[in-house]
Chains A and B, each alone.
Chain A
Amino acid sequence: MALLNDEIRGQVRELLDAMPDVVRLVFFKLPEDQCEYCGVIEELITELAETSARVVVETHQLDADKDVAESYGIDRAPALAIVGAKDYGLRFFGLPANYEFSTLIHGIQAAGHGAPGQLEESTLSYLASLNAPVHYQVFVTPTCPYCPGAAVLAYDMAVASDWVRAEVVEASEFPEIADRYSVMGVPLNVINETGRVEGRAPQQMIVETIKSVLA
């Protein structure tokens, strides 16, 4: 059975057909017996590509295609790189289901327009002044209604600045990473390993955190 029904496909098509650039979803998977959701993710992105010609899919085995994975900075799977006219640094680790499906669609749109959704003037001007790498991770679960709000902010900032790399991580699928960052609540924003903001934070607060970790 299809994952996306006709109604959702219709909505998605309208959004994605409007993108000026084609978006490539580069999927890194593991062998089936090591990955509960890889099959579902592959099916999902294939359906997205069927829905809109503005989306294409490229699939790799993480182990077999190490070099490719490395070139996208990907060290674990399942992982998606969301690549527009260029690689803006948008990544999704895990299955983008339930509320997180919206995050994926927003990421694709941002990459396909080459423009962030909604950033404040002050955020944009700060991002324009960046001159050091920002690794912006957002930990989420699919059942958290507050999470997409946090995740899409990371994607928007990554599209707005070449210095920002935005990784959304489904925490319950990556227990070791969740442990490493002590993720006990979602959404959790982690910036350059040390900057930590719990909950869905206003843009200004994320900007302040970036400033303080870069200082």
Chain B
Amino acid sequence: MFDFKLSTDVSKGSSGSSRYDLIIVGGGPSGLAAAIYAARDGIKTLVIEKSAAGGLAATTDHIENYPGFPEGIAGSDLMDLFQKQAVRFGAEILEFEEVTRIEPVRKGLLRVHTASDEVFEAKLVMLATGSKPKKLNLPGEDEFYGRGLSYCATCDGPLFRGKDVVVIGAGNSGLQEGVNLLSYARSVTFIEFLPYSIAEKILQERTMNHPNSTFYFNHQVLEIKGDKMVTAVVMKDRATGEVKELPTEGVFIYVGYSPDTKFLGDLVEMNQWGYIKTDTQMWTGVEGLMAIGDVRANNLAQVTVAVSDGTKAALAAREYLAKLEE
């Protein structure tokens, strides 16, 4: 069903102040959880989010393993509740504003620069920028993006009602969104590089037992083909070497995620994939700068974990801010 949610308007949303105790970059589950704890503690908190708040969790059709929702809940509904709870305690949320640079000035002062040339100041900054879908870097992948190729089934799925679609990647995300696609599409074909699925059993059962699904394991996708729009996927059977062409109108790619941390330059220590290293209290090593959620190195990409990170960081932030006052 539909509902009516209001994003804070970029032009009129914030209080107009540009000084905060805490600025959280990214309004996904980790950032919103930290905002709930911090704002409830009386910490003046601003969340800056480049699109609508909710993060990746809001782009998933259904979340079934977040405690407290025995029937599961739509990702966007769950994130709506997070947001309401943060706002209720006085956190400000600025949406459709992208952070482009973090500038540590001195102990107790960091500047946060945005794409529309605004500058905000905070005593403490948390990076909660999560990750974005990985590309396969296949021939045709960029060309057909938005022309039948998508990284968000929740966004684009409704456009494929009654059509034949392909999901590349049979991990948790691919199968979860596959369940959603199976409710719109005429057929869903899953292609997985590995000889088996690493997804949760319950998702495997739901998709594999569905009459309109087909699975190709141990197959490597080589190319996305089309003229104006996607018309086929070319794949290779890794066991036999046989190359096949599979006609399709839609391709959804779910082959994992990678962090979007280039905007930080070499400000913080990262691992080889660009995930930010922290200690157990979420500190990055840069004075006043923390990182939480999926963007953190060696973390599990789950809402519960993102929430846990946000909680730990908010409690450490309280201590840090109290010390600054002394």
Contacts and interface: CB of A to CB of B under 8 A. Distances in A.
Interface of A: 3-4, 7-8, 11-12, 15, 18, 40, 44, 95, 97-99, 101-102, 105-106, 109, 117-118, 120, 141-149, 152, 171-172, 175, 178, 182-186, 188, 198-200
B9 A183 contact: no
- Residue from B58, B76, B249 having most chain A Cβ neighbours under 10 A: B76
> What are the 8 A-B residue pairs with the smallest beta carbon separation, nearest first?
A198-B146, A97-B2, A117-B11, A144-B155, A185-B146, A172-B158, A102-B7, A145-B52
- Residue from B146, B228, B249 having most chain A Cβ neighbours under 10 A: B146
A28 to B, nearest CB: 20
Given A98-B2, A184-B150, A141 B229 contact: no
Contacts of B58: 145
Nearest to A97: B2
A3 B1 CA distance: 12
A146 B155 CA distance: 9
Given A98-B2, A102-B7, A145 B76 contact: yes
Nearest to A188: B146
B155 A186 contact: yes
B4 A172 contact: no
Contacts of B152: 144, 146
A4 B116 CA distance: 31
User: Which DSSP category, helix, strand, loop or mixed, fits chain B's interface?
Assistant: loop
Interface of B: 2-7, 9-12, 51-52, 54, 58-59, 76, 84, 96, 116, 145-150, 152, 154-156, 158-161, 228-230, 249-250
B96 A184 contact: no
Contacts of B6: 8, 11-12, 101-102, 105
Contacts of A106: 9
A41 to B, nearest CB: 11
B61 to A, nearest CB: 8
A185 B2 contact: no
A199 B12 contact: no
Nearest to B228: A182
Given A117-B9, A143-B154, A144-B152, A184 B76 contact: no
A146 B98 CA distance: 13
B12 A98 contact: no
B156 A141 contact: yes
Given A15-B9, A98-B4, A184-B230, 10 more contacts: A8-B4, A11-B6, A98-B5, A101-B5, A143-B155, A184-B149, A184-B249, A184-B250, A185-B146, A188-B146
Contacts of B51: 145-146, 149, 200
A141 B149 CA distance: 16
Nearest to A141: B158
A4 B4 contact: yes
B159 A184 contact: yes
Contact of A102 (B9, B84, B160): B9
15 contacts: A8-B5, A101-B6, A102-B9, A105-B6, A118-B116, A143-B155, A144-B154, A144-B155, A145-B58, A145-B155, A146-B155, A171-B158, A171-B159, A184-B147, A184-B250
Nearest to A115: B11
Contacts of B96: 148-149, 152
A142 B2 contact: yes
A178 B5 CA distance: 25
Nearest to A116: B11
Contacts of B148: 184-185
A147 B96 CA distance: 11
A145 B194 CA distance: 31
Contact of A182 (B154, B155, B229): B229
B4 A147 contact: no
Contacts of A11: 6
B225 to A, nearest CB: 15
